Amino acid sequence: MINLIENSIKNITKTYQQNELAFLAMQGKIELQLRDKMAWYIEQKNANYGYVRREYNPYGRKKCDIAILDQNYNPKCLIEFKAHSLARYEKEFLDACKKDISKMKGISQKLQKFPQKFYIFFQTEHTGNNIVDNEQGKNGMITYYKNIPIGVEKAKKYKSVQKFIYNQWDNDYSQFGTINKTEIDAGEYYGIGVKIHVMILEIDENSPGYLSL
């Protein structure tokens, strides 16, 4: 399952025009756009073996972002997504993760089935020399623009934003299972490059974090 998920992420840039994803990332969170592209990719690749269902929970209002089902409509995998537009740490990231994992745990218990579970986190990095004094940013064309330099400054002690983000992930999320890391080159817009760092957390139901929920 992890290979299917990783391949769906690698395929994302092929589904957008050049720099389109950078434009979308500049103007807001991209969780839903990336989730839906991944769902469609998995649906196509999984067609001979089962189904993909967005907003899944047959027994309650709290929906899981994506479920991968077998041919008998039994869930093989549950996936939750979160995205953040800045490369910085906020405590609510971890709080949101706990809520989403707890939600998947609750769905599994109601179903009395225990599918694989994944939590996918997208975190945006802005690159280039034109970040702090960007004309479009100063005129309201880049969401959260005023906060971008804060994240860049905090990341300096790690020598790179990627190391800063990965260090956060290892410290906060390894309690729940195995962390896989990759990135998406989203292109460039308004003279600023955009990378989207991706954490694929494969949840272990015997992990300390999971058992504590």
- Give the HSE-up count for residue 200: Cα atoms under 13 Å, Cβ half-sphere: 20
- The pLDDT averaged over each successive group of 10 residues in the chain (213 residues) is 94 95 92 95 88 92 94 95 79 91 94 93 87 90 85 75 89 97 96 94 97 96
Q: What is the pLDDT of residue 89?
A: 66
Cα 163–164–167 angle (5° rounding)? 80
Cα(80)–Cα(105) distance, integer angstroms: 12
Q: What is the pLDDT of residue 137?
A: 92
Q: What is the pLDDT of residue 154?
A: 72
CA 87 to mean position of chain CA atoms: 13
Q: Which domain holds residue 91?
A: 2-211
Q: What is the pLDDT of residue 148?
A: 81
**Cβ contacts of 151 within 8 Å, gap of 6 or more:** 86, 87, 88, 161
Residues 81-110 as b or e (16 or more Cβ within 10 Å = b): bbbbbbbbbeeebbebbbebbebbbbbbee
**In sequence order, which ranges of the chain are alpha helices (DSSP H)?**
2-10, 20-26, 31-45, 91-111, 135-138, 148-155, 161-173, 208-211
Please choose, from the candidates 203, 173, 185, 164, the residue with its C-alpha nearest in 3D space to the C-alpha of residue 9: 185
Specify the DSSP class assigned to residue 65: E
Q: What is the pLDDT of residue 90?
A: 72
Q: What is the pLDDT of residue 88?
A: 66
Place of tokens 């949840």: 203
Q: How many domains does the chain have?
A: 1
